[in-house]
Chains A and B, each alone.
Chain A
């Protein structure tokens, strides 16, 4: 990623080699990449904010409901709320990571990171479903009403 100074100067070339369209195209592409990079950073910040906010909310409700509901119920709800916040945050981080993969030249490392994020997201989502519903997502709701 070039610095913003280079991008700025590439739009107003001091020396050029008779290829204006090439310089303009390159300058615009670099600038777009820079914007996309910033957007990806903002989105990943939003994902982290969702995880932290969800953690704070879940903790607050855990503490405020501890007296009324008793430790066992409150703990399982706390766990589920944490999982939901984590899942939503991971989903947003996946968006940011795909954009990041586009703006930088994709490497095996960046794609492996993306694959890990998607895998973790899937595992968290399935196990959370198991904890809330008491069955895996691909299992039928009951013997009587089979969705599949």
Chain B
């Protein structure tokens, strides 16, 4: 019984990982085509700047889904120190990337209040 549940969970984590990867690929394709379409109306510099930000958001979403899959893996069928270390590293990357992206877009750290 328990083994069956764990088997299903294993499948679920694989499905989650595949979803994250598909989100990345689809996001990359959409961002690329949008950038190519926007080069004419907006100009190359602005289009590429938007493209960079779009790709950053895509990466954040992909990492988020990957973190979810690793959490399930770590707490259910594979609770090893190595997996926990990987999880910590993933969360660190996700956080660092997220903060630097907010900084580049808004000119403020996420914990700074934006003035009106």
Interface status of A84 (Cβ within 8 A of chain B): yes
Separation of A50 and B94 alpha carbons in the complex (Å): 24
Enumerate chain A residues within 8 angstroms of B30, measured Cβ to Cβ.
none
By the criterion of a CB under 8 Å from any partner CB, how many residues of chain B are at the interface? Answer: 42
Q: Are B86 and A106 in contact (CB under 8 A)?
A: yes
- Map CB proximity to A onto B58-69 as digits: 1 under 8 Å, 0 otherwise: 110011001000
Separation of A92 and B48 alpha carbons in the complex (Å): 12
For chains A and B in complex, what number of residue pairs have CB atoms within 8 angstroms? 106
Q: Determine chain B's interface SS by DSSP, over half rule.
A: helix
Separation of A126 and B86 alpha carbons in the complex (Å): 27
By the criterion of a CB under 8 Å from any partner CB, how many residues of chain A are at the interface? Answer: 41
Expressed in whole angstroms, the minimum distance between the Cβ of A41 and any Cβ of chain B is 12
Interface status of B113 (Cβ within 8 A of chain A): yes
Separation of A46 and B90 alpha carbons in the complex (Å): 24
Interface status of A127 (Cβ within 8 A of chain B): no
> What are 11 sample pairs from A and B whose C-beta atoms fall under 8 A apart?
A92-B28, A95-B62, A101-B66, A106-B66, A106-B86, A108-B85, A114-B93, A126-B100, A129-B104, A147-B106, A148-B109
